Structures are given as structure tokens and as C-alpha cells.
Structure 1
Amino acid sequence: MTSATPSSERRVSARIGAISESATLAVDAKAKALKAAGRPVIGFGAGEPDFPTPDYIVEAAVEACRNPKYHRYTPAGGLPELKAAIAAKTLRDSGYEVEASQVLVTNGGKQAIYEAFAAVLDPGDEVIVPAPYWTTYPESIRLAGGVPVEVVADETTGYRVSVEQLEAARTERTKVVLFVSPSNPTGSVYSEADAKAIGEWAAEHGLWVLTDEIYEHLVYGDAKFTSLPVLVPALRDKCIIVNGVAKTYAMTGWRVGWVIAPQDVIKAATNLQSHATSNVSNVAQIAALAAVSGNLDAVAEMRKAFDRRRQTMVRMLNEIDGVFCPTPEGAFYAYPSVKELIGKEIRGKRPQSSVELAALILDEVEVAVVPGEAFGTPGYLRLSYALGDEDLVEGVSRIQKLLAEAKA
């Protein structure tokens, strides 16, 4: 038996060495590398709108570049005018009234999530994490010293967890429950009644709630976005909202997110950010200011395209024997179950997991998808429909033809 490597001989710390690579970014990077090599790869991996950032936002950034005021350090917690605009946007879009002092501007949604957990978790504190989950949530919890506790929902419930499941997972160490609606990776949206029930359960037990509202404007059909602290005012003093401009305004590369929380949490998270990164790029902050202060016309147009693509993708996936794909109500992802295909022969191979099936799809038909293992639920694939209509149809058609060859 080989003993563990002594800390004195370890080149990378155990804490950082335990972090897994972002699976979604890894798949996207591999697809882009193959494209660069001349391969006709179609990538369904990245959660990134294929639209350009609206012109008026870009122009605001250009002007900021020319202004010496923004060539210098600014407050670590964000430009005061942007914090005020985020507070105003939150009232406009969700009916939740907050002060600018309750806002921290971060380098994208990922930093918002990490700093929020870091501000409230002590070592060993548990966070209930509904699965399927976005890959970054459990890693951020662990980095902050917490322990993620997974509660799994599947396609039979539309990937929505129940209060009964959450209660079964609650222990004396539970401090936070994560709530995400609309969801990445599944596109599920909780009804107002179900969201309220979860919020009231959390308030009853004195739990913190971290709610990720990044997809608030991307809902379809009869689904509606509702902000948890609006539904359950009793949560106000223990609710943390994370959000950003990435999805709503096609600004994934601009890296501007934010945290909305009680003032003591914001002060603590701002102190952390002051040592980690200082202020977010001023140019990006001014672009975000133009975004959140403007109207929602651009996202309305994107939503129409996403809705059309959503319906096309779900229909085509459900035409494949052995695949079942619930219709997502939000975000821009489909999350089909492929459990019936695991172990079947496809072109001389028998994939034993959704990881192996995703690899087979990439190798055989040059289509990149993300396996469910990345989101805590083996037996599924995530496909983003935030890409052009022609590529979407071509990519799913390739998958259809390949998986039609599956045999026992």
C-alpha cells in the first residue's frame, strides 16, 4: 500500500489539487481546438449566447476606454453608479427593493458565487445542492470550506426537487440551501407555489438561501421567473442573490456579475475581493452600466430565437430511440436522459457511461456534448441550444444517425 504524499513533498496543495477542471469549458475548448485544426465540429458544450453584445453597450465601453477617469483604480466593490443601477434594475425586473450598499460587483458570476459562499460558510458547514447542478457550485462550496450535500432530481419530476427531499437532507450542520431557477444544466423552472414552499421551509429552519438568478429573463411558454425573497419576505435577512450580465445581454466575455445580500455579508465579501482582485475592469463595468440601465429589447429578440431552437432540439432528441428529453422551460439547455443507451453497441463500442457516450459522439460524428457526470447525474447529456439554427439541426441530425445504430 502506498502512503499519502507528505505535505512537505506535495507540489500542489491538497485544497487546490482536489478541484476538478470545469467540464463545460473543457468540452468547449476541445471543440474549438478541433475546429481550429479544420475539423467540422459542432459544439453544444458552452453556455454562451451566439449573439454579439448589443451595439449601445459596446459603444459605452469604447467611450470608457477614452476617459482617463477609468484608467485608474476604483472602489473594490464596484463603481457606485453601477451598484445603484443594479439595485434599480433588481426592483424593475423582480420587484425586490435593495440599497446600493447591498450590492457587490464581481468578476463574473463565478466570483460572485465563490465570494458569497466564502462570506457565510465556516469549515464543515453543509450546503444542500439540488442535482443536476452547474459544475462550479460544489467546487465553490468546497473552496469556501463547506460541504456540498447533493439532493438528486430526475426527469420524472422535470429535475425539480421537493421540500420533502430537502428536509431529508437537512442536518444540524446545514447552513445554506442552493436554489436555481431557471436551471443550468436542465432548463427547469420552479412554479411560484413550489418556489414559495421551498423558501418558507428555509425560513422556518433559519437557513441561508443562495439563489442564482442569472437566467431570469430566459423563460418560455407559460413559465415565469420569480425571485425567492419577493415570494418569501421572511428570507430577506438570510438571502443572497447572484446574477450578472453574461446571459441576458450576450456578455459572457465581459466578466461582470454581482452579489446582492445583507450589508454585513456584502462588506465581508468586498473585503475578500479587495485582496483577491480589487475592482472589476472599469471598462467592463461601464458596459454593464449601459446594459442594466437600458431596455430589454435585445434579450427579447434573443429569447425568441432560443425558444425556436429549444423546440427544434427537444423534438429531434425525442425522436431518438432510447433518449428522453423533458421540455426545458428556461435558460438555453436541454438535458436528455440517455440511460437506455448505456451498454448498447454503437459502431463496435459499448459505452459504459455517459462520459464514454459523449466521447463516442465526438469521435464518430464530431459533435461535442457534456456528459451528465459533470453535473452530478450520470446517464444524461447536456446540449446548449445557444447556437445557430443550421448548426443545431446539423449537430442533432448527426447524433440521431449515430444513435440509430445502437443495438443490444
Structure 2
Amino acid sequence: MAVYDVVVVGAGIEGSATAYNLAKNGQKTLLVEQFPLPHSRGSSHGQSRITRVAYGTDDHYAIMMKEGGNLWRELERESGTPLFLNCGCLAVGKPDHPFINGTISSLSRHGIKHDVLQCGDLMDRYPMLSMPSDHIGVLDHSGGVLWADKALQSFQKMYVQRGGELRDGEEVTDILPGLVITIMTSKSQYKAKNLVLTVGPWATKLLPRLGIHIPLETVLIPVYYWKEKQKGEFSSDHFPTFIHNEDTHVYALPSLEYPGHVKVCHHDGPIADPDSRDKADTQAIMKLMQQYVTRYMPSLETTPSITETCIYTKTPDRQFVLDRHPTHKNIIIGAGFSGHGFKLSPVVGKVLCELVMDKTPSYDLSPCRIGRFPQSKSHL
């Protein structure tokens, strides 16, 4: 049986970016996905994601995003596929709120062009919003929209073109650690010198079987699309991506994937089992979002026309997990992206590749270590 340099389990955006980087670095790589591709059961599907540089108090992510933007453009050129719409990213809130303060500080520190809009200027520029008089806006000119489905497909396409193998519809049923790792699936068995686990919500089920007990929580995010009362008002020519992190953390994107409809969502949801996600009760989120749209976005209808879903896998501190298994150093784990990992996936893929190849990581990964959770110790 052939021995791969690396098997990557999970072909979402993080796993696909990692496999791409491994193949780019000459590693004989197999990427395994439990569902037939493409699918909508995890966290990487859908047409659009917000991207931005500013990260407030999490400056290590802002540093990563400066390279992340360049890597997205590199993937665009390599794949010949447009992946980024530069329509800006508008953060709104009270000027003394840590999110707003942190956003302004981050943009200034990293030399990113931005505008700080007092409430009157904010309402003049974005009349489709109705913000309180004590709110300001911060427009990050470097932000915008990532075309999510196309980004995922581009990573996978370029990975395969570089000689990588991709097998979908194969669920991993068992992992036997060792100098050479055995990975058993529903269809076959593989051996590898290294293993990368980027399994999204299923990390809550797979990692404990390897003795890793990270306090991960999977939540279902209802993705709502609201119809414009005046068609075109929320087009990307007039409306940027939008984040309002006050009492309720809400994000919005311009009218893009569904003509005349605007994506407006709450950045949280009910706890859900990824294998029975559709059983989660989202009525409270629906009520909350109807109240929000009525108050702050009166140019939209107050009942969504379209509903989709996504799953976040959250850590208690909302920081990623990018680390080696405490006992089995040839098992690398990428998990807990907490709803803000998509835009950083090119850098995540690069860093996980560096860990596999035993290179010094390009970034300080101390905030992303498994050991920050005392209960995470391996029992294998």
C-alpha cells in the first residue's frame, strides 16, 4: 500500500487551502471528504463571505489578513477566477465600544485606508440605514466580499492540477496513530506519514476519539435574505459589507446572490448537532432579526424571503486551534474557526502546511495552541 506524505481529512475551505499548500510544496497529498462534493452540510458553502483587515483586539489576525489579501489575489490569478469584490466593510456602533475602538486602532496601526463617519455623515452616505444618534461608522476601504463557492472550488481545482488526489463521499471511520498513520474510511484504507484534521463541526466528535477534549461548541446560523423595498438600494455600488457589534452582533452583505435580496444575519445561533442540524430551533433568532431589521434597516421587508443555514464551530475565546496533537506530533489539527475563519483560509492553509513540514510557522501561533484549554490533554 502506498504511503502518502499527508492525508487531509475535511475538504472545506481550511482543508482545501491546506491541501493546496501541501501539493504546492511537493507533498504527496490525499484530501478526503465525507460528503459528495459540493455539499452544504458544513461551514464553507454558500456564495459570499465578508472579508476585512481590521480585527480590533485580535491583532494577530489583522497581521495575518495583510498577507491573506495577497494570497487571495494570487489564487485569483492562478485559477483565472475572480474571488473578491472590493465594496468596503462598514462597522457601526458607539465610539467607545471596544469593537469600534479596536477597529479604528487596527486600521490606523496597519496603514489601511478608512473613513470615520459621525452619525450625520453616516446617514447621509447610507440612507438605507437608521442608526442611533450615538453611533458612528468606520469604513474599511480594503474590505468587501469573497465569492465563497468559487474560492473553495479554486483551491480544490488548483490542488488537483498540482497532482493532489481528492476523494469525496468517504467518511473516516477510524484513525490509528503511529509513525505511519492508518486512516480507515467507509470505502478504503490509507497510510500517511502525517495527518491533518480540518473537519469543521465534526471535530466535536472526531477529536475526542484521539484523546483531544477541546471545549468546542457547534451552533446553527440561520442565513436570512430580506427583500429590498426599493430595488437596487442595497447594491454593492451603494452598500458595503456591514458589521454592527453592539448588543446584538449582526452582519450584512449587499444584494448579490439573489437579486433584490440582502443577506442580514445574527452572528450566533442555537447549539446544534452537525448530524441533525435541521432539528435546531431558530425561532428566537428569527424574532431577534425581525426586530433588528425593523429598527435599523427599514428599507427592507420585515420577513425574510429566503433562509439558508451554516454551522459555526466555536471555541470559548473565539480563537482558532492550529496545533499539533500533544502526543502524536504528526497529527495536525485545524479547528474552532468560530465564524471568522473563511477570509483567513489562505494563511491557515499555509500555516498548517508549515506545521506538517516541520517548518517554523510564519506567525505566532501561541493564541491558537490546544494547551490553552486545560481539559484538552491527550489521554492516548
Same fold (TM over 0.5): no
Give the TM-score taking structure 1 as reference length.
0.25
Give the TM-score taking structure 2 as reference length.
0.26
Query: Which structure has the highest helix share of the two?
Result: 1
Query: Which structure has the highest strand share of the two?
Result: 2
